[in-house]
Amino acid sequence: MHLVILGNGITGVTCALTVRRLQPEARITLVSSESAHHYSRTALMYVYMGHLRAQDIKPYEDWFWNENRLALVHATATALNTAENLLSLADGTTLAYDQLLLATGSESKLFDWPGQELAGVQGLYNLPDLEAMTRDTHGISRGVVVGGGLIGVELAEMLHTRGIEPVVLVRDARYWGAVLPPEEANLVDRQFQENHISVRYQTELREILGDAQGRVRAVVTTAGEEIACQWVGLATGVTPNLALASTSNVETDRGILVDEFLRTNVPNVFAAGDCAQHRQPGAGEVPIEQLWYTGRMQGETVAHTICGQATPYRRGIWFNSAKFFNLEYQTYGYAPAGPVPGLSSFYWEHPGSRAAVRVYFRSEAPHAVVGFNALGLRLRHAVCEQWIARRTPVATVMSQFGSANFDPEFFPQHEKAIVADYNRQFPGQPVALKQRKGLFSIKN
């Protein structure tokens, strides 16, 4: 069996390593245009900020691939012929496959803004983007970041660490309004204020203005403001990379369409990770998942199917984490940004605005917990997942809240305050804080 994997991101590499384990004799080739070796995309910002070197974000040594008989092809695939099982490469050669995994990831989403072709205007997705940003922000004084999502805040922090003033344009009335409730968004906003980051809410990009050399010199916002700048970062989301799939009869919509086994409509052609769109996502799940851990899970799942152990993809309970400057953020389960009928939430915030927790639960007895947000303190993934999966009543969760403690130094000082606040907000069923338990000793 010759398995060709297009894309050496987390999805492609996880699939390759899993297939190597399941079928030690399989012939495996990884093709990627971006880099010869796999690297951690989520760590790009740390290279720019000087915390890590480019070689530090490669999780495997360069000899690893040869040692594990994983052939690497550093090239762009330009066409896919599924009738003959052939992948054409930009250098004119072809690669024959028995099975093919499309793990082509995403690309930055652009919206045809006037001036977006000017020098100094870009998104941040890959290594060439990082190089361009490093080059084009050298010695500048101000950059405008368009978009109030996770990559937007990363770009603001990146500029800030190099002494460049970021101005962030956010369409919503608050930061990440589609995901964070107002209280959490305010906490993040305070991080912006403390770091002297200017944020313009309810403001979008109208136009980018250039100078005589074709370089960006300013942006004009929908509020009519002209902001002088020497660089613009477009962080308005990503979209599945369909360039290769669209040269073939592989069905696409917004992403490459797959069934629950991550199979496309073409036999022996699979798709997984950021580029895949699930034809029938599970209840409450999104059809396109663009996260590191879901890429890893999909890569592992599809490897089993490729090796003849057909395995449906089950994401399980939602999880995400990020960092807003110094403020860590985690979310588990169902954690909507606004009120939802039948759902209540308890919110606690540290008086100094350094930490916050929100627990979502069903309004109807027995008030089963469905989700969590944590900012500035860390909750244990396994514990929260278990509470949600077992539909644990909120009163039980609050009385055992210490079981979710991740930070032995920091968290205990907040436990009492959190439970006291819960009792104040929900006086009907007062709970007492129990002795902290071991990680897996929670009883419902």
Ligand X SMILES: Cc1cc2nc3c(=O)[nH]c(=O)nc-3n(C[C@H](O)[C@H](O)[C@H](O)COP(=O)(O)OP(=O)(O)OC[C@H]3O[C@@H](n4cnc5c(N)ncnc54)[C@H](O)[C@@H]3O)c2cc1C
- Give the Cα separation of 330 and 366 in Å (integer): 25
In this complex, which beta carbon is closest to ligand X, that of residue 26 or of residue 77? 77
d(Cα 53, Cα 70) in Å, to the nearest integer?
25
| Binding to ligand X, residues 312-341 (CB under 6 A) | 322
Q: Determine, following the binding rule CB under 6 A, whether residue 106 of this chain makes contact with ligand X.
A: yes
The rounded distance, in Å, linking the Cα atoms of 213 and 226 is 19
Which listed residue (1, 2, 27, 42) binds ligand X by CB under 6 A? 42
Residue 116 engages ligand X in binding (rule: CB under 6 A): no
> For the CA atoms of 243, 276, 320, 301, what is the dihedral angle to 10 degrees?
-130
Q: Which of 5, 16, 26, 103 touches ligand X (CB under 6 A)?
A: 103
Find the part of the chain contacting ligand X (CB under 6 A) among 8-16, 136-144, 203-211, 254-262: 8-16
Residue pointed to by tokens 């990440």: 176
Any contact of residue 255 with ligand X (CB under 6 A)?
no
Give DSSP secondary structure letters for 115-167: TTTSBTEE---SHHHHHHHHHHTTT-SEEEEE--SHHHHHHHHHHHHTTPEEE
Q: Should residue 295 be labelled a site residue for ligand X when binding is judged by CB under 6 A? A: yes
In Å, how far from its chain's centre is CA 272?
Answer: 15
- Closest approach of ligand X to the CB of residue 33, in Å: 4
- 305 vs 403, which CB is nearer to ligand X? 305
273 touches ligand X (CB under 6 A): yes
Closer CB to ligand X, 12 or 393, in the complex: 12
**Total number of residues binding ligand X (CB under 6 A)?**
35
Q: Of 213, 214, 226, 175, which is closest to residue 197 (Cα–Cα)?
A: 175
Please, what is the minimum distance in Å from the beta carbon of residue 333 to ligand X?
A: 16
Q: Does 241 bind ligand X (CB under 6 A)?
A: yes
Residue 104 is classified by DSSP as -
Residues of span 117-136 touching ligand X by CB under 6 A: 124-125
Does 76 bind ligand X (CB under 6 A)? Our answer is: yes
Closest to 229 measured CA to CA, from 346, 98, 115: 115
Over the window 134 to 163, marking each residue x when it contacts ligand X by CB under 6 A and - when it does not, the resulting string is -----------------x--x---------
**Which of 56, 52, 45, 46 has its CA nearest to residue 233?**
45
Which one of residues 18, 29, 33, 373 is an interface residue with ligand X (CB under 6 A)? Answer: 33
Would you say how long the chain is, in residues?
444
Q: Where does residue 112 fall: left (phi above 0), alpha (psi -120 to 50 degrees), or beta otherwise? A: left
Residue ranges in contact with ligand X by CB under 6 A = 6-12, 31-34, 41-42, 44, 76-77, 103-106, 124-125, 151, 154, 241, 243-244, 273-274, 290-293, 295, 322
